[in-house]
Amino acid sequence: MSTFRRAGVGAAVGAMAAGIGWAVRDYRRWKALGPGGVPSNPVGWVAVTGMRMRTRDPYTVDAPRGGEVERALRALPRREGPRPDVAPHPVPHRVLNQHADQARIAAVQDMVQDLAGRPGLEMRMSGWEKHHPALFAADGTELGHVHPRDGSLHVSLRPPDAAVVVDLGWGELHRLAGVMLGLPAGYVLLYPPREQAEIACLRSILEAAAAVR
């Protein structure tokens, strides 16, 4: 075998080893996110890896600026401090830090349950997450759900409302919002509350989601 050919084979083997190493590490990171809307096994990871090729900018909302915003969001303040880090995997879509403690997670869950007591709203299993209860409108629209591991939420907003929420730092678009999986264009990940006062802001955002149904 010529020196040139041996070098080519060596490079190919090295690239394959690097690819396998990346896949093993990425699979472990993905598994650590917990259950989501796909099977938590190698088949689910392969599917999610393919989805990553179609992801969008999570901070750019396709909505006209200056339009009418739901009343519940008109006094929404800016979220102070940096945004949390978010995993690159679109499913499950999870924050990596700034997790809420158990008391605040329970408070967020209670807040969603309280909203479910209003006429025309109810709780049932999320159609997107498939593992957590979600707030639904009477017409079958899934409005939002809590992720019990970290206290973040997914909520479905009108694009103008989603633009306000993203611009003020309370969340970011799901990377597949309006792209695939039937996710609406205003499907937003809300960051976990770092203090009790932030739960009221999350409630305002959920109320905006419910107000347009």
Domain boundaries, the chain: 51-211
Which of 150, 148, 142, 139 has its CA nearest to residue 123? 142
Contact 210, 143 (CB under 8 A): yes
Element (H, E) at 57: none
pLDDT at 40: 86
The rounded distance, in Å, linking the Cα atoms of 187 and 158 is 8
Q: How many other C-beta atoms can be found within 10 angstroms of the C-beta atom of residue 67?
A: 12
Return the beta strands (E) in 59-163 as ranges. 121-125, 133-137, 142-146, 153-156
- Cα gap 108→8, rounded to integer Å: 56
CB 199 within 8 A of CB 104: yes
Q: Is 63 exposed, middle or buried (0-12, 13-18, 19+ CB in 10 A)?
A: middle
pLDDT of residue 13: 47
The tens place of each residue's pLDDT in the chain, 213 residues long, gives: 555 454 444 445 445 655 687 788 988 998 999 888 888 899 988 999 999 999 999 999 987 666 688 999 999 999 999 999 999 999 999 999 999 999 999 999 999 999 999 999 999 999 998 888 999 998 999 999 999 999 999 999 999 999 999 999 999 999 999 999 999 999 999 999 999 999 999 999 999 999 865
